[in-house]
Amino acid sequence: MKQDIFNNSSQYSIEFWESAYTYAIEKVRDNISNFSDGYPAPSSNNNVYPKIANIEWTSSFWNGMLWLSYLHTRDEVFRHAGEATLEDYATRLQKRIETNTHDLGFLYILSAKAEYLVTHNESAKITALLAADLLMERYHPKAGIIQAWGDLEDPNQRGRIIIDCLMNIPLLFWATEETKNPRYQEAALRHLARTRETIIRPDATTYHTYYFDTETGNPLRGVTAQGYSDDSCWARGQAWGIYGLTLAYTYTLDPACLVDAKRLAEYFLSHLPSDDVCYWDLIFTDGDEERDSSACAIASCGLMLLASLLPEDDIDAVRYQNKALDMLASLSKSYTTQDNPESNGILMHAVYGKPNNAGVDECVVWGDYFYMEALGTVLGSATRFW
C-alpha cells in the first residue's frame, strides 16, 4: 500500500532507477573474476579496492551485492559466485578466523543467511545459526550487552557496545525464529534496550560507542571511535541507528523502536547539506570536510523501511520516502564511479575512519552494498536480508 504512495509521488522515473541499478550490477559482474578468490578490502585506495582474504568485518558486503544482483537479473553467474563462498564462511567460523567481533551479524546475514533466504540451502542456514551461537559468546548477561570489539578480557574493549550493533542483532532475532530457542532473542532485546537507554542522547544524537561495567551492569561513559569527538554525532552511526531501530521493530513490533528511529531520522535530515549527502560527522553541515556517501545510502534504506512501517495516518511517512529518494538520486547523479572507469567500486566519497585516516574520501564496500540495497528496494527486486 505504502509502495503505491511512494511510486505515485516520485519525481524520478523507473528508467532513472533502472539505469542506476544496471550500472551497479554491471560493476559487480565485472568484479566477479577478480574476487573469485578473495574479497574487496573495506575501503579503496584511489577508488580501487584491493583484494584480501576473508578476515575483515566487511567481506559479506560483496556477497550481499552478488545476491541483490541475482535477485534483480536472475543471472546464474551471480548466484554461483555467491554460493562458491559458503564453505569459506563456514571455515572462518570453524577456525575462528577474526571472529572476535559483533560483526558476525553483518558477516553472516549477508552471506549464509542471504543465501538461505534466496536458495533455501539448509547448509547455509546451519552456517548462519552457528554464527548466531558464536555471537552469543560475546553477550555479557549482567550488563545485558553484546561486546562490540576484541577479546572479552581486553580491558580497553570489555563491556563496550557500539551503535552499529543494531545491524547485528537481527541475526539473533532470526535465530530464535528459526530454532524456537528464546535465548538469542532475549539477548537481542536486552542489548536493544541498553542501547536505547545509553547510546541515544536526549537530543536524538547518538554516541558511537558506550562502556558498561560488566560486573555491576552499570553504564559508564560514551566515547567515539570514528566520529569527530565524544559528544558529536558520527553520521554513519546515526544512519546505523535509523536503520537498526527500524529493523528491530520488524522483529519486536515495539512502537518505541519506531519512535526512536524517527527521532534519529529527524536529526539526520535536519543536518544534511543542500545536495542531501551528509558529511562524515553531523557536526558539519557545510564547508570542506569530506562527505560520507555510505551513511547516506544506509539512511536511505532505513528511511524507506521506516516509511513503509509507520501507521497509515502518520504524515511523516511520505516525507521520509521522498527524502530517501532525493538522497539516493543525489548519490546516483553525483557520487558514483561512472566517470572513473579505473575504479572497481560503485559509490565514491565515503569515509571509513577519519580520526585514524582510514579510507578517507574513498569507496567503502558497505556503501556500495547499501546503495544497491536501496535501489533494489525502489525497484522492488530486493529481499530484506536483515
Does position 262 bind ligand GLY by CB under 6 A? Answer: no
CB of 234 to ligand GLY, least distance (A): 9
Annotated active-site residue in 133, 164, 281, 316? 164
Q: Helix 255-269 vs helix 316-334: angle between axes, to the nearest 10 degrees?
A: 50
Q: How far is CA 219 from CA 73, 155, 200, 214, 250, in A?
A: 48, 15, 13, 9, 27
Does position 236 bind ligand GLY by CB under 6 A? Answer: yes
Annotation says 276 is catalytic: no
CB of 36 to ligand GLY, least distance (A): 26
Binding letters toward ligand GLY, positions 305-334, x by CB under 6 A? ------------------------------
Report the residue number, 210 or 352, with the smaller CB distance to ligand GLY. 352
Annotation says 164 is catalytic: yes
Report the residue number, 236 or 349, with the smaller CB distance to ligand GLY. 236
Report the residue number, 189 or 350, with the smaller CB distance to ligand GLY. 350
Q: 376: burial class by Cβ within 10 Å (0-12, 13-18, 19+)? A: buried
Annotated active-site residue in 103, 281, 292, 368? 103
Q: Which residues contact 151 (CB under 8 A, 6 or more apart)?
A: 100, 157
CB of 236 to ligand GLY, least distance (A): 5
CB of 375 to ligand GLY, least distance (A): 20
Q: Are residues 85 and 65 in contact, defined by beta-carbon separation less than 8 angstroms?
A: no
Subset of 121-140 contacting ligand GLY (CB under 6 A): none
| Secondary element (H or E) of residue 220 | strand 219-223
Does position 164 bind ligand GLY by CB under 6 A? Answer: yes
Report the residue number, 226 or 238, with the smaller CB distance to ligand GLY. 226
Q: Number of residues interacting with ligand GLY: please give it, by CB under 6 A.
A: 4
Q: Are residues 198 and 191 in contact, defined by beta-carbon separation less than 8 angstroms?
A: no
Report which residue's Cβ sits closest to ligand GLY. 164
Which letter does DSSP use for residue 234 in this model? B
- DSSP codes, 92-127: HHHTTTT--BTTHHHHHIIIIIHHHHHH--HHHHHH
First to last CA, the chain: 22
Subset of 335-354 contacting ligand GLY (CB under 6 A): 352
- 351-356 contacts: CB < 8 A, separation 24 or more? 351/280, 351/290, 351/291, 351/292, 351/294, 352/42, 352/43, 352/226, 353/225, 353/226, 354/226, 354/228, 354/280, 354/281, 354/290, 355/224, 355/225, 355/226, 355/227, 355/228
**Amino acid letter for position 102:** H
CB of 164 to ligand GLY, least distance (A): 4
Report the residue number, 251 or 280, with the smaller CB distance to ligand GLY. 280
CB of 16 to ligand GLY, least distance (A): 28
Which positions are annotated as active-site residues? 103, 164
Q: Which residues bind ligand GLY (CB under 6 A)?
A: 164, 226, 236, 352
